[in-house]
């Protein structure tokens, strides 16, 4: 490297509002070109998506798939069937997803709360309410944190609530768009402030970030040379 060249390579300390406003939609465009439209969430029904959202907490999706398969086998991929299963049976079936005792308890508790909601689950998620109202109701359920709540809202209940996860923190930190301290609402606001409010865009953007985080922007040994965001990333190769 020639003397002085590093000036252009060194990570920028400050990124202007205009740069952020350009980069956040641009990142999506590049990911979409590389990966194509993702059909997310993997799951057919609202119940299945909600169950998957709880099972995948701090867990790789491949492990969740095994649990889902076990539940499907005995037709337990719905809240009402779940609520009428014995705890020990449920624990056995969801064991591959990890934290099986915690998750069994959380699933049964979640199912009961949603099923027992006045006028039922449809009323719980009815679009006549505002997003924050339902979000708060979800967050008040034991075992439902911000990521799980937003996953349920976005993919199961069709509310435009942007999902932030470990991949999102990692990618946006490496892209120098975020300061690195894990503040869920702060990163969510940064992204949504610079993105068109659109259900399908929110769904696909998060899906694209998951794909990037798994295949390129990995925690260890990131694959920067062929990363679709390579030319935009100040950390490439680092």
Partner DNA sequence: GTCCTGAGCA
Partner DNA sequence: TGCTCAGGAC
Q: Near DNA by CB under 7 A, which window of 1-9, 24-32, 113-121, 159-167? A: 159-167
Is 43 one of the binding residues for DNA (CB under 7 A)?
no
Is 181 one of the binding residues for DNA (CB under 7 A)?
no
Nearest to 189 by CA among 200, 180, 199, 178: 178
Lookup: tokens for 61: 């999706």
Lookup: tokens for 122: 């449809």
User: Binding residue for DNA (CB under 7 A) from 166, 199, 223, 238?
Assistant: 166
Nearer to DNA among residue 74 and residue 223 (C-beta): 223
**Burial level of 30, CB count in 10 A (0-12/13-18/19+)?**
middle
Task: Report the SS3 class of residue 114.
Answer: helix
Residue 146 contacts residue 164 (beta carbons within 8 Å): yes
Residue 30 contacts residue 228 (beta carbons within 8 Å): yes
Question: 133-152: which residues touch DNA (CB under 7 A)?
Answer: 141-149
CB of 107 to DNA, least distance (A): 12
Nearer to DNA among residue 52 and residue 228 (C-beta): 52
CB atoms within 10 A of CB 69: 12
Is 101 one of the binding residues for DNA (CB under 7 A)?
yes
Nearer to DNA among residue 82 and residue 149 (C-beta): 149
**CA 44 to mean position of chain CA atoms:** 17
**CA 31 to mean position of chain CA atoms:** 16
Question: 47-76: which residues touch DNA (CB under 7 A)?
Answer: 56-60, 62-63, 66
Is 96 one of the binding residues for DNA (CB under 7 A)?
yes
Nearer to DNA among residue 19 and residue 183 (C-beta): 183
Task: Give contact residues for DNA (rule: CB under 7 A).
Answer: 56-60, 62-63, 66, 95-102, 141-149, 165-167, 170, 213-214, 218-220
């Amino acid at each position: 490297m020639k003397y002085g060249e590093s000036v252009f390579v060194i990570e920028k300390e400050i990124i202007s509002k205009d740069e952020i406003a350009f980069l956040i939609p641009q990142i999506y465009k590049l990911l979409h070109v590389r990966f194509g439209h993702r059909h997310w969430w993997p799951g057919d029904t609202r119940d299945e998506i909600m169950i998957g959202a709880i099972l995948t907490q701090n867990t790789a999706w491949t492990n969740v798939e095994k649990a889902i398969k076990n539940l499907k086998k005995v037709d337990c991929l719905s809240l009402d069937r779940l609520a009428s299963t014995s705890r020990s049976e449920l624990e056995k079936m969801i064991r591959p997803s990890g934290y099986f005792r915690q998750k069994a308890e959380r699933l049964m508790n979640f199912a009961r709360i949603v099923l027992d909601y006045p006028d039922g689950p449809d009323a719980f998620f009815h679009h006549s309410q505002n997003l924050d109202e339902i979000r708060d109701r979800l967050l008040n359920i034991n075992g439902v944190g911000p990521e799980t709540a937003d996953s349920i809202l976005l993919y199961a209940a069709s509310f435009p609530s942007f999902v932030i996860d470990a991949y999102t923190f990692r990618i946006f930190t490496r892209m120098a768009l975020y300061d690195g301290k894990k503040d869920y609402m702060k990163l969510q606001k940064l992204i949504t402030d610079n993105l068109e409010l659109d259900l399908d865009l929110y769904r696909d953007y998060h899906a694209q970030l998951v794909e990037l985080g798994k295949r390129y922007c990995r925690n260890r040994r990131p694959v920067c040379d062929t990363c679709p965001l390579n030319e935009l990333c100040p950390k490439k190769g680092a």
